[in-house]
């Protein structure tokens, strides 16, 4: 078994592949007496077609409903789960984490469990409560609309949007995507490569490979489908305008600096430049921005609550964006955003849980680990001109999917 060794943030980092195809990454950090183990799979909503929206979430929910005695014993040794993917515990109990995560991978999803979570999926879709990928309440129908402007979107022949997965499709999804050969195991903290190799072979080495996932590998040019708009109702207190722009990701961009500028816009629009935005228009309602970068293209979204008429708030938003394109942010305006973004990434990499999580996210997208350090360098070098150019290029009507979301009508009224 060959081991590749490098340095990441000045700490030894090792990689090796088990015979069943599982990738294992070891990031040594001996400043702590803890260890963190994270198991993630190279699958997310990017691999769903619009007619499958939510199928991966349904399978994940079924997987995480699995009861494991080892997990229940973690508090007894000072350990804990970190989200759904990781376990952090004193380094002398590292083997418990391997035992728990290998048991999780070995599980066979029972039909009754899958049926129950399929019903939850159906209810969520009916009530428009399927978890949004941008993670702050974006409308499910809007995200489906925006998906059509992403380069990974390849509708299957004869597939109809709005159809629901069958029990067999859930089982097939789990079998295709959730095997060791489509997973990344990251171990960080006070650990050694020899110890991790021994435990990985003991607990994961004999797990059989699964089928090869059917992932589209062709990188396409992001289509500009034109202005797309819907109206919908949700359980919200006041009307909201939501807009999602299709933007390139690190895999599909031809200009890495533009991708960095787009990442910075999330921080810039939400927290670092509200004074500038209010100067542009004192009546601007509160704006929330979120970005999402998956395996292919990304999304940059804005949400604005409002009391105006729908056409007025829509014109209002485009006016704000056009003024920003015409008058770039200054260096003083973008500096706080750069500091916040860079410090957050650096601080995350300064903990064993953060190291494990960020390395997992990069590795499951098949990006080089060096990207984590390079990302900080790129962010720090973003200029006002980079942001202006990115806004002019990507925040356009041709790349926009827009939704006017209204409060749900009372059954009594």
Confidence of residue 218 (pLDDT cuts 50, 70, 90): very low
Task: Of 162, 144, 155, give the one whose Cα is nearest residue 401.
Answer: 144
CATH of 228-407 given 1.20.140.10, 3.40.50.1360, 3.30.830.10, 3.40.605.10 = 3.30.830.10
In terms of DSSP bridges, do strands 240-247 and 183-189 run parallel, antiparallel, or are they unpaired? unpaired
Domain layout of the chain by residue ranges: 4-203, 228-407
Q: Does pLDDT of 228 surpass 50? A: yes
pLDDT, position 316: 82
Condensed to tens digits (0 to 9), the pLDDT of residues 15-26 reads: 999 999 999 999
Condensed to tens digits (0 to 9), the pLDDT of residues 235-248 reads: 888 888 999 998 88
Q: Does pLDDT of 12 surpass 80? A: yes
Domains 4-203 and 228-407 alike in fold: yes
Q: How far apart are CA 260 and CA 273, in angstroms?
A: 17
pLDDT, position 100: 94
Paired strand residues for 404: 231, 241
pLDDT, position 227: 79
Task: Look at 89 and 315; give whichever has higher pLDDT.
Answer: 89
Task: Of 149, 128, 151, give the one whose Cα is nearest residue 53.
Answer: 128
pLDDT, position 286: 65
Q: How far apart are CA 353 and CA 29, in angstroms?
A: 11
pLDDT, position 158: 44
**Pick from 68-77, 111-120, 314-323: least confident:** 111-120
Task: Tell me the CB-side half-sphere exposure of residue 68, using CA atoms within 13 A.
Answer: 21
**CATH number of the domain at 4-203, please?**
3.30.830.10
Angle at CA of residue 374, ends 370 and 376, nearest 5°: 130
Task: Of 218, 51, 57, give the one whose Cα is nearest residue 132.
Answer: 57
Task: Look at 331 and 278; give whichever has higher pLDDT.
Answer: 331
pLDDT, position 126: 57
Question: How much is the pTM?
Answer: 0.80
Condensed to tens digits (0 to 9), the pLDDT of residues 99-110 reads: 999 999 998 888
Q: How far apart are CA 80 and CA 89, in angstroms?
A: 6
């Amino acid at each position: 078994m060959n081991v590749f060794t490098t340095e990441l943030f000045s700490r030894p980092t090792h990689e090796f592949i088990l015979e069943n195809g599982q990738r294992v990454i070891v990031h040594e950090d001996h400043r702590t007496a803890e260890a963190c183990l994270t198991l993630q799979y190279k699958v997310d909503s990017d691999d769903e077609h619009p007619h499958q929206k939510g199928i991966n979430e349904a399978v994940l929910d079924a997987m995480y409903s699995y009861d494991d005695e080892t997990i229940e014993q973690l508090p007894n040794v000072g350990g804990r789960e970190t989200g759904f993917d990781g376990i952090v515990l004193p380094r002398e109990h590292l083997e418990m984490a391997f035992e728990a995560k290998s048991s999780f991978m070995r599980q066979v999803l029972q039909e009754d469990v899958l049926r129950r979570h399929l019903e939850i999926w159906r209810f969520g879709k009916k009530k428009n409560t399927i978890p949004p990928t941008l993670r702050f309440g974006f409308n499910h129908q809007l995200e489906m609309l925006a998906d059509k402007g992403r380069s990974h979107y390849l509708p299957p022949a004869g597939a109809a949007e709005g159809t629901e997965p069958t029990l067999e499709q859930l089982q097939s999804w789990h079998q295709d995507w959730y095997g060791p050969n489509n997973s990344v195991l990251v171990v960080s903290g006070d650990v050694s490569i020899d110890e991790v190799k021994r435990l990985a072979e003991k607990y994961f080495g004999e797990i059989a490979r699964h089928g090869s996932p059917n992932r589209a590998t062709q990188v396409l040019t992001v289509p500009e489908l034109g202005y797309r708009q819907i109206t919908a109702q949700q359980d919200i207190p006041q009307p909201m305008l939501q807009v999602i722009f299709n933007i390139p990701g690190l895999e599909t961009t031809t200009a890495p600096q533009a991708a960095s500028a787009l990442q910075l816009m999330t921080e810039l629009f939400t927290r670092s430049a509200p004074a500038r935005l209010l100067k542009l228009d004192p009546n601007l309602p509160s704006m929330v921005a979120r970005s999402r970068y998956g395996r292919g293209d990304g999304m940059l979204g804005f949400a604005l609550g409002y009391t105006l008429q729908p056409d007025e708030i829509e014109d209002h938003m485009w006016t704000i964006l056009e003024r920003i394109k015409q008058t770039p942010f200054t260096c003083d305006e973008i500096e706080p955003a750069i500091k916040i973004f860079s410090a957050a990434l650096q601080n995350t990499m300064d903990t064993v849980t953060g190291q494990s999580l960020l390395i997992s996210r990069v590795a499951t997208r098949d990006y080089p680990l060096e990207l984590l350090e390079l990302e900080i360098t790129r962010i720090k070098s973003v200029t006002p001109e980079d942001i202006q150019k990115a806004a002019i290029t990507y925040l356009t009507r041709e790349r926009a999917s827009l939704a006017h979301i209204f409060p749900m009508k009372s059954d009594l009224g």
